[in-house]
Each structure stands twice: as C-alpha cells, then as structure tokens.
Amino acid sequence: MLAAMTASMLVQASAALGFGAIVGVALGLTGGGGSIFSVPLLIYGLGVPPADAIAISLLAVAVTALAGALQSVRHGLVVWQPSMLFALGGMAGAPAGHLAARLVDPTWVVTAFALLALTVGALMWRAASMHPEQATAVRAQAYAAGGSPICVLAPDGQLRFSAPCALVLSVIGIGTGFLAGFFGVGGGFLIVPALVLVTRMGVHRAVATSLLIISAIGLAGAAGAIWHGGIAWNVLVPFAGGGLAAMLAARSFAARVAGPPLQKIFATCIVLVGVAMLIDTML
C-alpha cells in the first residue's frame, strides 16, 4: 500500500516537473502569453481543480518572473517608479480576483479562461505580424499609439511624477491584478503594452519592468489563495521548479531563436488550447 502511494506520488511529481518545464520554455522563449499554458496543463494534465490550478499557477509564474526580474535589475533595465505604482495596484487587485474565481462556478471560470486564451493568441499573432522587430524580444507585445503619454520619462529613464500618472498606473494595475488573480496568469500580455502606451518607455525596459510587476502580483494572489484555501505544495514545488529551470535555460538562447515565426507558433498553440477548453466545457 505504502509502496503504491509512493510510486503514485513520484509519478505525479514527475508529471508536474515536466509540465512546469513546458511552461518555462514558453516563458523563456516568448514571455508574453507563455504563462497561459499553466492552468490548462494543471487542470487537464494533472487533474487539479480550477481554483487550485489558478493558485499554483500564480505562485509558479511569480517565482519564474522574479528570477527574470532579478536579471533585469542587475542590468539596470527596470524603471522603478512605474513598476512600484503598477505593482501596488496589482497586489491589491490579485487577491480579490482569486477570491472571485473561487466564488464563480468552475465551468464558467474555465470558459472565461478559454476565451482569454483565444484573445491572447490573437494578440500574439497580431504583434508578430504588425511588429516583427519586437517579436525578437522576450515578452515584447507593444503597439504604436498616437497622442501624448500620460506619464513622461526623463532622459535618464526616471518618471516625472504627477497625480494623473499615478492614478492611471494604479487603476491599470488594479485591473491587471484582478485579471491575473482570477485567471492565474502573469498578465504580461497586458502590462507590457500598458507601460509602453502610458509612459512611452522602450519595449526592452517595459519587458524588464513587467517581470518585476508580475512577480509582485503573483505573490500577492498566491498569498490570498493560501489564506483562503491553502495550496497543493506537492504539485507546486515540482511544477515551479521545472518551470524555473526550463525558463532560465530557454532564456540563454532565446535571442538566437525568438522571432515572428516562433511567436506565431506559440500563438497558434494558445488558440488551440482555448478551442479545446471551450469544446470540453460544452460536452
């Protein structure tokens, strides 16, 4: 009996490690949208209930994003003022989003997640088609926009602080945090374009800054999940460990392989995942 239980636990841990590695490779090579594979793999690959899958995904994504953020900080790419305002708003919204997900019927959560996957896949494909030069940067999904930015960065990359700027960054952060907590995703597909649109910072700085924001939002959402219902550590540890190791390995050669074709492949995979989830909820 004990041997059978031990073997079952080892099989589950190995599967979690492998699925986490898939997410890590997606994050390392494309960044934007990569974390969206976490929840489907946890639900359909490991049989984790949707609410628990969201909590595990939040913490796993936070750990991997934090590793990337520390690298960005070391290279001086993070713009601190926008990241702090955005992160504080996101940390307020993430626990509320996760609580809302627990109060909603799991079928509706899965359906909403499937629609989100279709949206993210379409945005990734559009970004690779319209801005192929940005598809070579990890997590780059920014779009050109006219008009004057609400927040203005000085030549040294620091923010010229103003009340409208603080308000906009905080409100967008709360909304992004709520969505991240509700769906268990990092939210980089929203954060990077928002930072570029509001501040006009370069896409590489937006990418680096978003990683710090994602880690803060993910940790806040996961803390709320642990407070409300705990977390399956036996799944989280190998899943996050596999994701972290694979992401760091993938980032080491991402610059040589990343580009529009790869981003379109990942976009297609995300759309297929969304379609499969929608079909599953209808059966």
Q: Is 253 exposed, middle or buried (0-12, 13-18, 19+ CB in 10 A)?
A: exposed
β-strands 152-153, 159-160 pairing = antiparallel
CA dist 208 and 219 (Å) reads 18
Whether 51 and 184 have beta carbons less than 8 Å apart is answered as no
Please report the pLDDT score of residue 142 as a whole number. 41
pLDDT at 207: 76
- 260 and 128 Cβ atoms separated by less than 8 Å: yes
Q: What is the pLDDT of residues 10-36, one digit of tens each?
A: 777 888 898 888 888 777 766 555 677
In sign, the C-alpha dihedral spanning 159, 163, 169, 174 is: positive
> What pLDDT shows up at residue 174?
92
pLDDT of residue 254: 62
State the Cα–Cα distance between residues 45 and 247, nearest whole angstrom.
20
pLDDT value at residue 144: 41
140: left (phi over 0), alpha (psi -120 to 50) or beta: beta
Domain boundaries, the chain: 17-282
Rounded distance between C-alpha atoms, residue 118 and residue 167, angstroms: 30
Mean pLDDT rounded to a whole number for the chain = 77
Weakly modelled stretches of the chain, pLDDT under 70: 1-5, 7, 29-34, 131-150, 152-161, 228-230, 254-259
pLDDT for the residue 154: 64
**Angle (nearest 5°) at CA 14 between 223 and 68:** 50
